[in-house]
């Protein structure tokens, strides 16, 4: 991997990680369209540490409060009913599904799951799911001619069942094209949470999973065509760009619909199917060269 490739891929990672359009799919597609080697699952996991560092800094006050309250609640029974202490446990519970499936499906994640036809399918299917979830949220928020405005849930309403369902949604993102934020936000909206609450918990829930995944993949970094230097460079680029994107996205979702992302996902999936079907792209483009 050249330094230019690592710059572009780091830029793509930072731009797409927090948007519901799948960063892993876009890293895979960028390499395929450019005729580069597939950067691979290890490169993807490690560069995601950069974007998660942006999450940690952006939500640093929330994270510090949650960790502090959760840790103190281990010895202080009075704090165990505190929302922040409970949120700490819910993040742990929600991280279990992706941890178990990530280890179980490791070979599939690095191989078959990176097929461009599967990515096209997940882009379209999850785009439709996000569209339905967004439409339901909009209907509750605005009401209608024969429907009153419905109060949606906030993070204070989060319980173990919902936390586990969020975790299952997050685990779906092990398949490129699903999108970690897209799956968890869609799940949150379908469970009745506000857009902001769904996104906030999605980002907090991703921290343990992404950091653990990146640390696990460190052993494979620097092997093959992806050297340590370009990987670290891409991770730094992802951090800088990711911080700017998350700040914009949290403001965007407070008053905007997810429909632009829904349309983009569906059109990209259709275009990808057409390109693979026409022979312009091979379903495993770039893999053999890696």
Q: Tens digits of per-residue pLDDT, 225-265?
A: 567 888 899 999 999 999 999 999 998 987 788 999 999 99
Mean pLDDT over 275-289 rounds to 74
Please give the share of the chain, as a percent, with pLDDT higher than 90: 59
Show the beta-strand stretches assigned E in the chain.
none
- Give Cβ neighbours of residue 174 (< 8 Å, ≥ 6 apart): 98, 101, 102, 105, 109, 113
Half-sphere exposure of 193 (CA within 13 A, CB side): 26
d(Cα 175, Cα 189) in Å, to the nearest integer? 21
Is the confidence at residue 289, as pLDDT, over 60? no
Q: Mean pLDDT throughout 12-37? A: 90
What is the longest distance spanned by two Cα atoms in the chain?
64
SS3 state of residue 153:
strand
Contact 94, 167 (CB under 8 A): yes
Res. 40 pLDDT band, cuts 50 70 90: confident
Does residue 285 surpass a pLDDT of 80? no
Q: Which of 197, 208, 214, 200 is nearest to 98 (CA)?
A: 208
For the stretch 156-208, pLDDT in tens is 999 999 999 999 999 998 888 899 999 999 999 999 999 999 999 999 999 99
Count Cβ atoms within 10 A of the Cβ of residue 65 and give its class: 0-12 exposed, 13-18 middle, 19 or more buried.
middle
């Amino acid at each position: 991997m050249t330094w230019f490739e690592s710059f572009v891929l780091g830029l793509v990672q930072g731009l797409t990680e927090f948007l519901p359009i799948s960063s892993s799919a876009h890293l895979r597609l960028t390499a395929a369209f450019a005729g580069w080697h597939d950067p691979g699952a290890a490169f993807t996991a490690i560069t995601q540490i950069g974007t998660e560092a942006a999450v940690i800094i952006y939500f640093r006050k929330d994270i510090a409060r949650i960790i502090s309250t959760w840790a103190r609640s281990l010895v202080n029974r009075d704090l165990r009913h505190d929302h922040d202490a409970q949120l700490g446990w819910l993040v742990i519970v929600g991280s279990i599904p992706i941890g178990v499936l990530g280890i179980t499906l490791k070979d599939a994640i690095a191989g078959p799951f990176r097929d461009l036809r599967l990515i096209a399918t997940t882009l379209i299917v999850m785009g439709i799911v996000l569209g339905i979830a967004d439409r339901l949220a909009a209907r509750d928020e605005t009401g209608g001619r024969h429907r009153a405005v419905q109060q949606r849930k906030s993070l204070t309403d989060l319980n173990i069942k919902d936390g586990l369902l969020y975790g299952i949604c997050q685990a779906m993102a092990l398949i490129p094209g699903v999108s970690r934020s897209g799956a968890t936000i869609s799940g949150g909206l379908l469970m009745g949470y506000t857009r902001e609450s769904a996104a906030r918990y999605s980002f907090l829930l991703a921290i343990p999973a992404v950091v653990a995944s990146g640390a696990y993949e460190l052993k494979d970094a620097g092997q093959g065509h992806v050297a340590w230097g370009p990987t670290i460079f891409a991770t730094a680029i992802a951090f800088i760009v990711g911080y700017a994107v998350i700040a914009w996205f949290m403001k965007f979702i407070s008053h905007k619909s997810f429909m632009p992302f829904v349309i983009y996902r569906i059109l990209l999936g259709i275009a990808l199917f057409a390109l693979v079907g026409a022979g312009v792209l091979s379903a495993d483009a770039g893999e053999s060269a890696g």
